[in-house]
Chain A
Amino acid sequence: MKALVTVKRVIDYNVKPRVKADGTGVDLANVKMSMNPFDEIAVEEAIRLKEKGVVTEIVAVSVGPAKAQETLRTALAMGADRAILVQTDDEVEPLAVAKIVKGVADEEQPGLIITGKQAIDDDSNQVGQMVAALLGRPQGTFANEITVEGDSVVVKREIDGGLETVKLALPAVVTTDLRLNEPRYASLPNIMKAKSKPLATKAPADYGVDTAPRLKTLKVSEPPVRSAGIKVADVDALVAKLKELGVA
């Protein structure tokens, strides 16, 4: 079966984001961008399923600006077979992304759609669930383990109290949690090879999707700053502080 993986170009997770002085957003000019960490896990899982002979072809899709091509090339270098960039310079909300992914899925008919559980920029945690809803297919969110068994997929999910296992009829949508796998690095020869792998460019209109935002961002501000703390010299001083706080 075919696997569709979604990847997003986001600010690198090690970079501390800076809020623009005019409160219109976060300053992304000259900031290092990378593939969303959960999406790396999604790509890795698709590749592992291909290595097991469960998946035959991996299609990576990204919705974003022309530069998102770099992110798709990274997915291709890791082991995806071809890529689709749905190019737009607008900021696209999860619902519109989900509609575009549904459009791609309608054309490609994947057996499994793998997305990250959330993007580390908007922290929404919505796209996978929305894709599943729009396609009328089951969802295995926050996956810790994925096993394809015939015409179904068994997904072990990370939930608040521990783990839960569900069985989903294929085709299905799975979103990755951190502990699903350890993504591989792309080797230099594979990065070179990835340059010649097919990458199609589309537009949201090709899928009949209107990307106009439903949520208007009125303001983006810095979180409240914590007042400077103190350092204590020894354990006795810390115990005294804990007593002051009434916890000891």
Chain B
Amino acid sequence: MANVLVWVEHDGSAVKDATLAAVTAAAKLGDVTALVAGSGVDGVAAAAAQIEGVSKVLKADDASLANGLAENVAPLIASVMAGYDAFVAAATTTAKNVAPRVAALLDVAQVSEILSVEGPKTFTRPIYAGNAIATVESSDAKLVVTVRGTAFAKANATGGSAAVEAVSGAAESGLSSFVGSEIAKSERPELTSAKIIVSGGRALKDAATFEATITPLADKLGAAIGASRAAVDAGFVPNDYQVGQTGKIVAPEVYLAVGISGAIQHLAGMKDSKTIIAINKDEDAPIFQVADIGLVGDLFTLVPELTGKL
């Protein structure tokens, strides 16, 4: 049975949901060891030890790992990989930054954003903005795989009881330093794990109209708010609201697209949603080709009416 190393993504105190999906995918490949890297991560390591399906936790605690800089993290992972057959991480921006660097250090190809595990070295993954699904088989000695979170069930965050073992070898590369971050504050459910998403597009006109139209509806439904690229580029909402090929990939129970035409780059990010509802005044908008429920009409009258009747 293969030994699989899963990278635990965290915010310094809690394990991120995306990691739980990665654990599910990794368990299909073999025996799962979780790697927690960071500075002051005893709490995260303890939480990782409780994830069902994790048989061991490796803890790399070092000041150089504090901000997840790829230049410091990747060499550590590459050295730990000497004892493992596969490296698995959730396909978040954090892992997309680090995993290819690990793969190159190991001289292996990376398989990005897998949708399923078909065999010990065989996976499916989306290409061309999700317009085609490729089945690929690796011939490398070691695997480096990132996992599309919406394609795998989340492992239980409790129920496991793995032992925690410290690993050393972390070092400051001297190549990069962390300056700061601007994290968008949100009281809402996180976009990638929300059950319901209300998403707005260019038709919302401006930031104030977007806020006045979309927010009350999202509040009523307890939904996360998403947006098309057009709405982000026009400055209606921040970048991290963007759903699509180049933004976030979501698959909620219900995705409500308001004033979104449905360009293929947007569909790439949401077409695996369980139920898609579209409100658009253009009857021929491509969004209606994927929508389970469509309502044709002016969103400025329909959305407030809908909000009022919920």
Chain A residues in contact with chain B, CB under 8 A?
11, 13, 16-17, 19, 26, 93-95, 98, 117-118, 120-134, 137-139, 141-142, 144, 154, 158-169, 177-179, 213-223, 226-227, 229-232, 234-239, 241-242, 245, 247-248
Does B163 reach chain A (CB closer than 8 Å)? no
Cα separation A123 to B264 with both chains bound (whole Å): 14
Are the C-beta atoms of B132 and A167 separated by less than 8 Å?
Answer: no
* A238, B297: Cα distance in complex, Å: 12
Asked if residues A168 and B175 are in contact (CB atoms below 8 Å), the reply is yes
Q: Work out how many contacts link A and B, with CB atoms closer than 8 A.
A: 240
Q: Are B293 and A229 closer than 8 Å at their CB atoms?
A: yes
**Interface residues as binary, B145-175 with A (CB distance below 8 Å gives 1, 0 otherwise):** 0000000000000000000000000000111
Closest to B70 in A: A139
Q: For residue B102, which residue of chain A has the nearest CB? A: A133
Verify A235–B293 contact, CB threshold 8 A: no
Instruction: Report A22 CB to chain B, min CB distance, Å.
Output: 13
Q: Which of A137, A139, A223, A231 contacts B133 (CB 8 A)?
A: A223
Instruction: Give the Cβ gap from A183 to chain B, nearest Cβ, in Å.
Output: 13
Stretch at the interface among B25-33, B55-63, B201-209, B301-309: B301-309
CA–CA, A218 to B196, complex, Å?
36
B residues adjacent to A (C-beta < 8 A): 69-71, 74, 92-94, 96-105, 107-113, 122, 126-140, 173-184, 192, 195-196, 220-221, 229, 232-233, 238-240, 245-246, 248, 253-254, 264-265, 271, 275-277, 288, 290-296, 302, 305-306, 309-310
Contact B100 A214 (CB under 8 A): no
Contacts of B220 in A (CB 8 A): 248
Q: Tell me whether A160 and B181 are in contact (CB under 8 A).
A: no
A-B complex: 5 closest residue pairs judged by Cβ atoms: A129-B100, A133-B104, A214-B109, A130-B104, A126-B100
Complex CA–CA separation, A235 to B304 (angstroms): 10
Residue of chain A at shortest CB distance from B71: A138
Q: Using CB atoms, name the residue of chain A closest to B98.
A: A129
Q: List, in ascending order, chain B residues with CB within 8 A of A226's CB.
A: 271, 276, 290, 292
Which A residues lie within 8 Å of B288 (CB)?
229, 231
Q: Considering the chains assembled together, what is the distance between the CA atoms of A248 and B233 in angstroms?
A: 31
Give chain A nearest CB distance to B230 CB in angstroms.
Answer: 12
Contact B306 A154, beta carbon cutoff 8 Å: no
Compute how far the CA of A248 lies from the CA of B302 in the bound complex, rounded to whole angstroms. Answer: 16
Which residue in A219, A227, A236, A247 is a CB contact (below 8 Å) of B196?
A247
Contact of A122 among B127, B130, B175, B221 (CB under 8 A): B127
Contact of A120 with B245 at beta-carbon distance under 8 Å, contacts A162-B183, A164-B181, A229-B291 already known: yes
Given that A141-B96, A160-B240 are known contacts, is A123 also in contact with B74, CB under 8 Å in the complex? no
Q: In the complex, which of the residues A125, A223, A238 contacts B277, with contact meaning CB atoms closer than 8 Å?
A: A238
- Selected contact of A161 from candidates B70, B101, B240, B293, CB within 8 Å: B240
Partner of A121, one of B128, B254, B276, B292: B128
Complex Cα–Cα for A64 and B221 (A): 49
Chain A residues contacting B271 (CB-CB under 8 Å) are 223, 226
Contact between chains at A120 and B105 (CB < 8 Å): no
- Residues of A near B302 (CB, < 8 A) are 235
Q: Are B139 and A220 in contact (CB under 8 A)?
A: no
| B134→A219 contact, CB < 8 A | yes
Q: What are 15 pairs between A and B in contact, CB < 8 Å?
A: A26-B127, A26-B128, A26-B131, A95-B103, A133-B102, A160-B92, A164-B180, A166-B176, A169-B174, A214-B138, A215-B111, A219-B134, A219-B135, A230-B294, A239-B309
Shortest CB distance A36–B (Å): 12
Q: Judging by beta carbons under 8 Å apart, are B133 and A133 in contact?
A: no
In the complex, what residues of B have CB within 8 A of residue A139's CB?
A: 70-71, 97, 101, 176
Closest B residue by C-beta to A219? B135
Instruction: Give A137 Cβ to nearest chain B Cβ, in Å.
Output: 7
A131: B residues at CB distance < 8 A: 104
B139 & A215 in contact (Cβ 8 Å cutoff): yes
A235–B138 CA distance with the chains assembled, in angstroms: 50
- Residues A232 and B294 in contact in the complex (CB < 8 Å), given A123-B128, A216-B136, A217-B136: yes
Residues of A within 8 A of B105 (CB): 133
- Check B306 against A158 for contact (C-beta < 8 Å): no
User: Is the CB–CB distance between B181 and A165 below 8 Å?
Assistant: yes
